[in-house]
Amino acid sequence: MIIVSIIGFIFTLGLVILIHEFGHFYFAKKAGILCHEFSLGLGPVLWSTKKNETQFSIRAIPIGGYVSMAGEDVNESYVNVGDTVSVTLEDGVIQEIIIDPLQQADAFTVDSLDLRNADQLHINGTPVAEDAFLVFAKKRLQIAPKNRSFESKTLWQRFITIFAGPMMNFILAIGIFFVIALITGFPVDESTELGGVNEGFPAAEFLAEGDVILAVNGQSVKTWTDVTDALNDTLGTRNIPITFERDGDRQEVALNPRLFFYSIGFNSHPDATTDLRIGPVVDNTLAESAGFLEDDIIQSINGQPVNAWQDVVERLQANKTGQVMNFEVVRGDAVRNLTVTPYEEAILATQDVAIVESYIGVAPTNAFNFFGAVQSGFTGTLAAGALIFDTLGLLFSSSQVGAGDLAGPVGIFQLTAQSISGGLLVFLNWIGLLSVNLGIINLLPIPALDGGRLVFLGYEGITRRKVNPRVENTLHLIMFFLLMGFFVFVTFNDILRIFN
């Protein structure tokens, strides 16, 4: 399983980074910008090949990538007056400018040069080919006349080249959510026919696919929305009568829904009918940390007795801001006092769950809908974006969320492994969410990110003058090192979470 997880992790990160960098690369080439290298990954080169004028590389650390474009760096003057170089000629035109002293033969001093103006490239009066190469000790780099440089292009060309990276991440997400919707179809709300029944839930013992629900708790239902609304109205109620039809035969059963208390992490026991017995406690939840165990029976909350699951539901639903709660539970012949701080309702909303939810284990029928799938591609991407912004907002508004809760590569690996174990659709959904995440994070108005570069372009568009290139590059460099430090901090916290 670990091998599958590693492969899935590399594939997931590789895909969202590849599509991001391809966006930059494609529009840079369309604008005529010279791209020195297209790299997937960072660090030492594992494999590389050259096609036309671009070096395509795969590097050892699969957590990033880049497109090296001519003119992005203000310090690209590799040859200056007074330098000692040698050259190789073809038909009297310089094809190579050798910087490496160990390779220089017939070296000479540069008295005059122009490697920027494409109409008159020269060194000491000798013409230089527009696609000539600089030869260093360990690499060759094609020169970049002004007309091939990023900074020489129009404002729109530079804007779309930078914006194209995040844009491609959003396009990838739209495509993924579209495919998911094509595969799963859409719930048929006009019908109360069961499209599936989940094993391990109360309905599995009595209901079957194809049954038609007629009433819930005595309330007649005509649509699937009616079914879900009626179940929500009975949150915490036991022995809910469900009237259904099977093969023309009208029947009725009483079900005890499973209650999932997401703000703490425990659920009602599948066999609990009259008592308040807790079901299996999931690993790495607040309930586990607080000491809850399966078969504990809740006796009181904050010193007030609870006699029914409705009482437990009401107490937890009233705690929307994550206040400390004291539970008294019966465990065997002993009474235990357990203290827990539930998650805030706003935090749970970012995970698309409520404080308490009730399940009987039934699902509606689904139908294929191509145009609905197209719409789902866009709405799914917008929903993922809203989720990410809500999560970022919690960093500033919630006392329960901090920078230490952000996930780095190690956390992403764990989440990828969990998504793989959930099946193809869960895995695809995770890739879509991660792609939207990468797109939005890169659009944040922070130097060194695409969003920071777009801010400088916006300033240029408004004022009609460019930001001093040295100032801009200095800000990008400073923020890059700060982001690398933050990256190390997040990764360290990821590792601590594993050991804790």
What pLDDT does residue 408 have? Answer: 78
Q: How far is CA 267 from CA 76, 231, 282, 286, 345, in A?
A: 62, 17, 9, 12, 17
Claim to verify: residue 304 and residue 410 sit in the same structural domain: no
pLDDT value of position 487? 82
Range with lowest mean pLDDT among 325-329, 382-386, 411-415, 431-435:
411-415
Same structural domain for residues 385 and 342?
no
Same-domain pairing of 383 and 491: yes
Q: How many domains is the chain partitioned into structurally?
A: 4
Residue whose entry in the numeric block shows the structure tokens 């290139």: 469
Residue 490 banded pLDDT, cuts 50, 70, 90: confident
Q: Are residues 419 and 453 in the same domain?
A: yes
Do 326 and 216 lie in one domain? The reply is: no
Q: How much is the pLDDT for 104?
A: 75
Model confidence at 412: pLDDT above 90: no
Assigned domain for 127 exists:
yes
346 in the same domain as 290: yes
Tens of pLDDT, residues 347-365: 888 888 889 998 899 999 9
Mean pLDDT of 73-92: 81
pLDDT, mean of residues 117-146: 86
Whether 112 is covered by a domain: the verdict is yes
Structural domain contains residue 444: yes
What is residue 273's predicted lDDT score, i.e. its pLDDT? 76
Is the predicted pLDDT of residue 29 greater than 60, yes or no?
A: yes
268 and 249, same structural domain?
no
Q: Are residues 231 and 323 in the same domain?
A: no
- Whether 239 and 268 map to the same domain: the answer is no
Based on the domain organization, do 296 and 252 belong to the same domain? no
Q: pTM for the whole thing?
A: 0.84
Q: Are residues 412 and 478 in the same domain?
A: yes
Phi, psi dihedrals of residue 421, rounded to the nearest 5°: -65, -20
Contact 26, 164 (CB under 8 A): yes
Tell me if 402 is assigned to some domain: yes
Determine, yes or no, domain membership for 491: yes
Mean pLDDT of 406-411: 79
Q: Are 213 and 221 in contact (CB under 8 A)?
A: yes
- Distance (Å, rounded) from C-alpha 240 to C-alpha 255? 5
Q: What is the CATH number of the domain that holds 251?
A: 2.30.42.10
Domain of residue 201, residue span: 186-257+362-366
> Does 71 map to a domain?
no
In the prediction, which pLDDT does 73 show? 64
Does 174 fall in a domain? no
Q: How far is CA 480 from CA 166, 406, 475, in A?
A: 18, 18, 8
**Residues 325 and 343 reside in one and the same domain:** yes
Average pLDDT, the chain: 89
* Domain closes at, from 340, 366, 392: 366
